[in-house]
Amino acid sequence: MFGSFAEHIGRCVYGGIYEPGHPAADKDGFRADLIEAVRDLGVTCVRYPGGNFLSDYNWKDGIGPKEKRPERIEPAWRQLEPNTFGVDEFMRWCEKSGVAPIMAVNMGTGTQKEAGELVEYCNHNVGSWAKERAKNGRKEPYGVRFWGVGNEPDGDWQICSMESMEYARKAVEAAKIMRLTDEKCKFIFCGSCSPQSANFPEWIRKVLETAYDQADYISLHAYYTYGAAGDVGDFLAIPVDLEHYINTAVSVCDYVKAVKRGRKDIMLALDEWNVWHNQEKGRDESPWTVGPPRLENYYDATDALAVGGLLSVIVNHSDRIKIGCMAQLVNVIAPILTYKGGMLVKQPIFYPFRAFAKRAAGRAVLRTYADIPTYLSARFGNAPYLHHSAVYDEKTGEYTVFVTNAGGGHTLTLDFGTDRVVLSGGERLTAKEARAVNTPEEPFRVVPQMIAAEKERRAVHTVTLPEKSFSVFVYKNL
């Protein structure tokens, strides 16, 4: 649920994860300050290596002695790919960062055979690819469980984009080889690249009608920005759209299950989501260089509230969303920015993600019933002022409530049904300065403030939520 995404694009890998020569680089060339920030963020898994990059990537270019790896032009983002970071480096970086890998296979220019060979390289203990892996320094299989089968073939910008049936047939046969190679693998088939796609939700129905037996998950991608009028209330209503997107996708999955007289539920992998404003430097700045700037977004306090609202939707749908990846991890539409040879900055959106990843770690999401005033948003219709979720962590015995206030001052009354509850702390981030950002000069301008613990036992707690704020309340039942 609290995963991320690392693509070979811009300065995500080269200059973000991997910067040999940086004062904080370890012997593998990985920035240790980034690894520390990833651990602080609480990221659980990372999808790799793309993204649009994936659809023309040959994973075999990125293994073996670095001096022998080919330097290639990379057409998806018009950059130069030195291949000095590949599968083995990614796996080592995951182990150092304490995250699980989600590998994706090329279904654009790639073949089913190459996809099967990658599973063999990563997961097998016998055969030529296992020997190759051992030669490259890793005897033990990596045991990668989660596999994305392609990336956004429904988008016409994708290298080798496809019709739903072409994709489904190709991906089914790839998954077949991959599963025969390692039966423990789970497969994420490509669903829709956007809630706004003309082919949503039909694409999902058509793909699943062919791929139901091989698919474990269907992916959804969702990026949000301001509407044409640039209205903040309208922007902060984006959770309404994500909710609708998820509900529709679940309905389609369940429809296909019914048609197939199936027994399994297809789960959702929301494996690219975020707010994304700046399309500049998309492909054109410094083409054909290694790690050129691409999609570098500077997020402000309002974006943090938007992300808090989206995360509540994700948590509230955790019965079906079993994989979630905020896109991306570093420098490219990311919660973390790194500077060449220099420091690292945690953007405002870092903090709501961290709050959820750290505090929504239990196994129970609570259903909350709330009477919340609404307003009319131009793009999404009626939107509640408050977006909320609540979880229970059986290990700590804590109840945590997350609430984003998109409008004016509101109070929230929590009724616990017992009089033995104490507030044991929390945090709050406000967007009083709506456009405030964190920079190398002022890295802590937008950070959460702690909410102090109380001694008083309560049955009901009424809290005032400041205008434009994201709050986390942690309670313990004594």
Active site residues: 152, 272
Which of 192, 328, 347, 471 touches ligand AHR (CB under 6 A)?
328
From the CB of 256, what's the least distance to ligand AHR, in Å? 24
- Out of 4, 52, 297, 389, the residue judged to bind ligand AHR by CB under 6 A: 52
Report the nearest approach of ligand AHR to the CB of residue 214 (Å): 21
CB closer to ligand AHR, 190 vs 304: 190
Q: Is the dihedral of CA 324, 345, 97, 106 positive or negative?
A: positive
- Closest contact distance (angstroms) between CB of 50 and ligand AHR is 5
Q: Which of 106, 151, 214, 404 binds ligand AHR (CB under 6 A)?
A: 151
Place of tokens 């005032």: 464
User: Is 38 or 295 the residue whose CB approaches ligand AHR more closely?
Assistant: 295
- Name which position in 3, 42, 51, 239 contacts ligand AHR (CB under 6 A): 51
Q: Which of residues 258-317 bind ligand AHR (CB under 6 A)?
A: 272
Give the CB-nearest residue to ligand AHR: 51
Nearer to ligand AHR, 332 or 406 (CB): 332
Residues in 21-50 at the binding interface with ligand AHR, rule: CB under 6 A = 50
Q: How far is the CB of 324 from ligand AHR (least distance, A)?
A: 14
Identity of the residue, 120 or 152, whose beta carbon is nearer to ligand AHR in the bound complex: 152
Q: How many residues bind ligand AHR (CB under 6 A)?
A: 10
CB 5 within 8 A of CB 325: yes
Is residue 334 at the binding interface for ligand AHR, with CB under 6 A as the rule?
A: no
Q: Which is nearer to ligand AHR, 297 or 471 (CB)?
A: 297
Does position 234 bind ligand AHR by CB under 6 A? no
- Cβ distance 52 to 76 under 8 Å? yes
Q: Which is nearer to ligand AHR, 7 or 81 (CB)?
A: 7
Q: Give residues with Cβ within 8 angstroms of 67, minimum separation 6.
A: none
State in angstroms the smallest separation of the CB of 221 from ligand AHR: 6
Nearer to ligand AHR, 51 or 335 (CB): 51
Q: Is residue 152 within the footprint of ligand AHR (CB under 6 A)?
A: yes
Query: Which of 1, 4, 6, 7 contacts ligand AHR by CB under 6 A?
Result: 7
- As measured in angstroms, the least distance from the Cβ of 279 to ligand AHR is 10
Query: Considering the complex, what minimum distance in angstroms separates the CB of residue 52 from ligand AHR?
Result: 4
Least distance CB 307 / ligand AHR (angstroms)? 15
Of the pair 48, 235, the CB lying nearest ligand AHR is at 48
Site for ligand AHR in 171-200 (CB under 6 A): 193
- Residues contributing to the site for ligand AHR (CB under 6 A): 7, 50-52, 151-152, 193, 272, 327-328
